Chain A
Amino acid sequence: EPEVTQTPSHQVTQMGQEVILRCVPISNHLYFYWYRQILGQKVEFLVSFYNNEISEKSEIFDDQFSVERPDGSNFTLKIRSTKLEDSAMYFCASHRSPTYEQYFGPGTRLTVT
């Protein structure tokens, strides 16, 4: 069964460093998302991506964040200068269209020290 994959599973970085979180969505999906979950809190929407451009972003997704689909398979989230408060689990998700359920990856746990 197809699945969304994410790498790395755990990333530790120092404050101020750049990180890139990688995702491989399911191959025939067209809509891509990043969510984050701070420990003990709810899952929050960050950004949606369709047709090679951002379709919607949340207030959390400021200028420090960017997304890219560099080729036909990968979908990346970049944080330019990490802050302590960026420590969270980051989930990638994808689906064929908004009428279908989103499939989530296993997440990347980002720890900023």
Chain B
Amino acid sequence: AQSVTQLGSHVSVSEGALVLLRCNYSSSVPPYLFWYVQYPNQGLQLLLKYTSAATLVKGINGFEAEFKKSETSFHLTKPSAHMSDAAEYFCAVSDRSSNTGKLIFGQGTTLQVKP
């Protein structure tokens, strides 16, 4: 069965500092991988996705993530944090061999950005 582990339920960085949110997955076949962001009282917005093209994926708002098969990781990074990046971030996996496309989510990481 697929699973996703996000290391660190809360991450705090200073404005302008590097953002690193960690995600490790477990899957019997290379999966599709996603990062979603959830702002307070809002739904989930896709940041970026990996579906087997380039291993370094660029998303919206300056975020990017690198798929590392050997480490079963898909960590999310941003070189310089903005106050507006404060939100909940979810890593999710989808089984590419499945015809249902369901997403399995990690526990989420709350990003706090300090001025």
Name A residues whose Cβ lies closer than 8 Å to a Cβ of B: 4, 31, 33, 35, 41-45, 48, 50, 55-56, 91, 93, 95, 97-99, 101-107
User: How far apart are A107's CB and chain B's nearest CB, in angstroms?
Assistant: 5
Residues B92-115 near A (CB distance < 8 A): 92, 94, 96, 98-108
Q: Chain B residues with Cβ under 8 A from A103's Cβ?
A: 46
Partner of A107, one of B32, B43, B94, B102: B43
Tell me the bound Cα distance from A106 to B108 in angstroms. Answer: 17
Query: Can you spell out 16 A-B residue pairs with CB atoms less than 8 angstroms apart?
Result: A4-B43, A31-B100, A43-B44, A43-B90, A43-B92, A43-B103, A43-B105, A43-B108, A48-B100, A55-B99, A56-B98, A93-B103, A95-B101, A98-B96, A98-B99, A104-B43
Looking across the interface, which residue of chain B has its beta carbon closest to that of A48?
Answer: B100
Partner of B43, one of A33, A91, A95: A91
A44–B43 CB distance below 8 A? no
Is B27 among interface residues, defined by CB-CB distance under 8 A? no
A106–B43 CB distance below 8 A? yes
Is B26 among interface residues, defined by CB-CB distance under 8 A? no
Partner of A98, one of B42, B46, B92, B101: B101
B94–A42 CB distance below 8 A? no
The 5 closest A-B pairs by CB, nearest first: A98-B101, A56-B100, A104-B44, A106-B43, A43-B105
Partner of A45, one of B45, B49, B99, B103: B103
Is B51 among interface residues, defined by CB-CB distance under 8 A? yes
Chain B: how many interface residues by the 8 Å CB criterion?
25
Q: Chain A residues with Cβ under 8 A from B42's Cβ?
A: 106-107
The proximity string for B residues 69-111 relative to A, scoring 1 for CB distances below 8 Å and 0 otherwise, is 0000000000000000000001010101011111111111000
Q: Chain B residues with Cβ under 8 A from A44's Cβ?
A: 105
Partner of A48, one of B36, B101, B104: B101
User: How far apart are B99's CB and chain A's nearest CB, in angstroms?
Assistant: 7
Q: Chain A residues with Cβ under 8 A from B67's Cβ?
A: none
Looking across the interface, which residue of chain A has its beta carbon closest to that of B45?
Answer: A104
Looking across the interface, which residue of chain B has its beta carbon closest to that of A98?
Answer: B101
Tell me the bound Cα distance from A35 to B94 in angstroms. Answer: 14
User: How far apart are A73's CB and chain B's nearest CB, in angstroms?
Assistant: 19
